[in-house]
Structure 1
Amino acid sequence: MGFAALLGPAGQALLDELRDVAPEDELAAATRLRKRYEPALVSAALGQAQLRQRAAAKFGADARRMYFTPNGVEQATRAPVAAHRAARFRALGATRAADLCCGIGGDAIALARAGIAVLAVDRDPVTCAVARANADALGLAGRIEVRLADVMGVDPGREGCDALFADPARRTGRGRTFDPEAYSPPLSWALDAAARMPLAAVKVAPGIPHEAVPASMEAEWVSDRGDVKEAALWHGTAPGVRRATLLPSGAALTGRGLPDPRVRPVGRYLYEPDGAVIRAHLVAEVADEVGGGLIDATIAYVTSDELRPTPHATAYEIGDVLPFHLKRLKALLRERGVGRLTVKKRGSAVEPEEVRRRVRPEGPNEATVFVTRVAGAPFMLIGAPAAT
């Protein structure tokens, strides 16, 4: 049964009944509902209810009213990230934006909520139907025009747009692709389309090599609550600039062309830069902020002798700096009564789960251990989050 059936009275009633059904109760609910509704419609509604539950992590409370496809849930931009980008577009003067490869409409919704009129384009009929339903469900139908078309045949400038956002699909029939020219549409096309607009952003994978970023564009890496979510290449903003933006605070760090930090002995404090900072190659800027250096030339941990709080890194107070040795670690943790152990690793083949299994922490206290390299040698640094 098609998606349109879910928008009818019976489909809406079914979705309302399934709204608060827990996953473990779905089978019983489906059996009960098939006595009153067509089995195919029950199956479609149950699938949509499951997608809404999955989407809550990205869309929060809006997910309960929205509609999704399996690919749409997986590929949609997380709502706080989309809202951040929409706010940037608005602050930069955008009034009407083309959202190319709009998917289920997550970015179009954020742009519309920021006060920007949106032309949302996708070539898949079901996806377009879902995007229209989402605009309607959230009261944004008047600001979002959804068009079924091949984005490569759309000229945003002729459509009255002064901004463009493109999110090429990074999946093929074989799964995720890391070849930019295998994107749909190819990344080169998206970048050319962006260059023809006064203002544009093209969403790319966070792992994009820096050498693949055109010199004429700004590259921005965005994290949400410590997890790197995406990167975007901006046209019409700051050519050649690398930026890391940390959500939900909105703290932003931009590159200043600093040389690599010096390597120095481990001091009293260790700073773990946010993942977006690391992806943007801005660890040197963090080291400059805190007056510190690296513990190893190849490891993105910064150390200093004094505490200088920064929104771009998490600070830890280090009490022990020891050569890596699990038996020694186990004895030390037992001596201190550490039962809650956080294990972080960087530059080590040892997995955190293996460390916890081997040391078997017990007791009322807690600690953080960093399994890493110091000046090329395997070390363990033991401490706790710094009081700020």
Structure 2
Amino acid sequence: MVAELEQVLQPAGWDLLNSLPPYEESGALALGARLRGAGHAPELVAAALTQSRLRARAADKFGEFAATMLFTPHGLEQATRLPVAALHARRFRDAGVASVADLGCGIGGDAMANAALGTEVLAVDRDAATVAVATVNLRPFPTASVRLGRAEDHDPSATEGIWLDPARRAPARGRTRRLHDPEEYEPPLSTVHDLARRIGRDGQAGPLGAKLGPGIDHAALPEGTETQWLSWHGQVLEATCWFGPLAADGVRRSALVIGRDGAHALRERTGEEVPDPDSGPVGAHLYEPDGAVIRAGLIGQVAAGMDARTLDPSIAYLTADQRIRSPFLQGYAVRDVFGFSLKRLAAYLREHRIGVLEIKKRGTAITPEELRRSLRPRRFGDEKATLILTRIAGEQSVIVASPHTEQAEHTEQTEHTDGDGPA
């Protein structure tokens, strides 16, 4: 990747990249042949087309900015979506922080968002190629600078605030594995906490924000901080730990759910004890809490006051006899419930001519892919349903349901499978 970046960072490579039409996979081979036929070196053509392809992929995260940026595949995968980065940047601005060090800046998404608000930004990364990419991406922002370095070596007095995105993956047999222990992060959470103390005053933590893995153990979270889990159109993207004045007053954990109807926040305040809902029989409606709510441990807050119950003490589905509208819940009308048996399920689908399935699971070993291969549902008919495989009072069960009407348009109804989420 370094050699490819060197190609497009040269004036001729940069001009060629920016002269390319919008990337289309179907025409890439022909375009490459035309460019080589026009006298461009093969390695330069390959580098320019790689960046053009990455720019097309990056439009989902960076919008129109992607067309003038550079990327690495790993950097793009790990980069914060620009609208989410803007939310991070507003925390610093609203706290009156005039300068921020972005340690582990990657390709520069969060640094761009901070600099766009006029904040002075020092972007730092330990990888030279990544620093080169971030330098290009931050060139429109005069208040931003980029340098090579490690978060562990950063002088906290250089800026008023710090933003960190610690590396949460490690090499494993030619691939990477997720790191679940925050002390295995680079830098580890203890180092992050130490930096927060060092930029603070009078023994109090200073303005620091750090991205953590969404599955982090709540017991590992530092005292006196707010950790916010964020989901973007149903996908949990991050958990961010906010220190000092960046933390909402008196809030320990929060969930921010961003969807088509805007952003909705749910909070648990210090000293607030909301019990988990009781378990009970399946009602007329089933509700799946948003993943950010589940990760934040805030199911009790959602269930409180709406007479909802769980199916099983260890399962994060809610059920109620009445229909509930909430930005934190995906609702389903329950059609049938029965114990899990492959033979019985196949007979049911055949009888009701149900062949177009959304399959969801929680708390059961069987996967949607395995079940689909075993059932071959397309042979049963064209009717639609959602199958929910879960435990009810400890028993493996099947719930046949239909999405609530206003949510149906958000649910892909054809040959869609959901993976297993947290219990």
Match of 2:145 in 1: 145
Cα displacement (A) at 1:127:
1.4
Match of 1:366 in 2: 384
Match of 2:257 in 1: 246
Cα distance between partner residues in 2 of 1:178 and 1:334: 43
Match of 2:196 in 1: 194
Match of 2:167 in 1: 169
Change (3 A) 1:25 1:327: same
Change (3 A) 1:185 1:239: farther
| Corresponding residue to 1:43 among 42, 46, 49 | 46
- The one-letter code sitting in structure 1 at the alignment partner of 2:233 is R
Q: Say whether the 8 Å CA contact 1:77–1:106 is kept in structure 2.
A: yes
Cα displacement (A) at 1:250:
1.7
Cα displacement (A) at 1:17:
4.4
Match of 2:241 in 1: 233
Moved more, 228-237 or 162-171: 162-171
Cα displacement (A) at 1:69:
1.6
Match of 2:336 in 1: 320
Cα displacement (A) at 1:61:
3.4
Cα distance between partner residues in 1 of 2:312 and 2:4: 57
| Corresponding residue to 2:224 among 206, 216, 219 | 216
Cα displacement (A) at 1:43:
2.4
Cα displacement (A) at 1:265:
0.8
Cα displacement (A) at 1:370:
0.8
Q: Say whether the 8 Å CA contact 1:343–1:368 is kept in structure 2.
A: yes
Size of the alignment, in residue pairs? 383
Cα displacement (A) at 1:114:
3.6
Query: Equivalent residue of 2:326, what SS?
Result: coil
| Corresponding residue to 2:129 among 120, 126, 145 | 126
Q: Say whether the 8 Å CA contact 2:389–2:399 is kept in structure 1.
A: yes
Cα displacement (A) at 1:269:
1.1
Change (3 A) 1:318 1:359: farther
Cα distance between partner residues in 1 of 2:348 and 2:83: 42
Cα distance between partner residues in 2 of 1:340 and 1:149: 53
| Corresponding residue to 2:310 among 280, 294, 319 | 294
Moved more, 296-305 or 282-291: 282-291
Query: Equivalent residue of 1:77, what SS?
Result: coil
Q: Say whether the 8 Å CA contact 1:191–1:202 is kept in structure 2.
A: no
Query: Equivalent residue of 2:281, what SS?
Result: coil
Query: Equivalent residue of 1:206, what SS?
Result: coil
- The one-letter code sitting in structure 2 at the alignment partner of 1:121 is V
Change (3 A) 1:172 1:341: closer
Cα distance between partner residues in 2 of 1:166 and 1:180: 13
Query: Equivalent residue of 1:381, what SS?
Result: strand
Q: Say whether the 8 Å CA contact 2:208–2:242 is kept in structure 1.
A: yes
| Corresponding residue to 1:90 among 89, 93, 98 | 93
Cα distance between partner residues in 1 of 2:136 and 2:21: 17
Change (3 A) 1:165 1:302: same
- String of CA shifts for 1:365-387, please: whole Å, max 9, x gaps: 32111111100011111111123
Report whether the alignment pairs 1:334 with 2:350.
yes
Cα distance between partner residues in 1 of 2:343 and 2:316: 26
- String of CA shifts for 1:169-221, please: whole Å, max 9, x gaps: 22344433334333222221122112333321111111111111112211111
Query: Equivalent residue of 1:250, what SS?
Result: strand
Cα distance between partner residues in 2 of 1:272 and 1:319: 16
- The one-letter code sitting in structure 2 at the alignment partner of 1:190 is V
- The one-letter code sitting in structure 1 at the alignment partner of 2:43 is A
Change (3 A) 1:368 1:125: same
- The one-letter code sitting in structure 2 at the alignment partner of 1:231 is A
Cα distance between partner residues in 1 of 2:225 and 2:286: 33
Moved more, 260-269 or 177-186: 177-186
Q: Say whether the 8 Å CA contact 1:103–1:127 is kept in structure 2.
A: yes
Cα distance between partner residues in 2 of 1:75 and 1:21: 22
Cα distance between partner residues in 2 of 1:143 and 1:4: 25
Cα distance between partner residues in 1 of 2:81 and 2:148: 23
- The one-letter code sitting in structure 2 at the alignment partner of 1:11 is G
Report the aligned-residue RMSD: 2.2
Query: Equivalent residue of 2:62, what SS?
Result: helix
Report whether the alignment pairs 1:72 with 2:75.
yes
Cα distance between partner residues in 2 of 1:92 and 1:329: 56
Cα displacement (A) at 1:90:
2.6
Cα distance between partner residues in 2 of 1:254 and 1:282: 8
Cα distance between partner residues in 2 of 1:352 and 1:321: 18
Cα distance between partner residues in 2 of 1:338 and 1:91: 52
Report whether the alignment pairs 1:32 with 2:34.
yes
What is the percent sequence identity of the aligned residues? 45
Cα distance between partner residues in 1 of 2:396 and 2:170: 40
Runs (5+) with no aligned partner, structure 2: 200-205, 407-423
Q: Say whether the 8 Å CA contact 1:290–1:307 is kept in structure 2.
A: no
Query: Equivalent residue of 1:37, what SS?
Result: coil
Cα displacement (A) at 1:153:
2.6
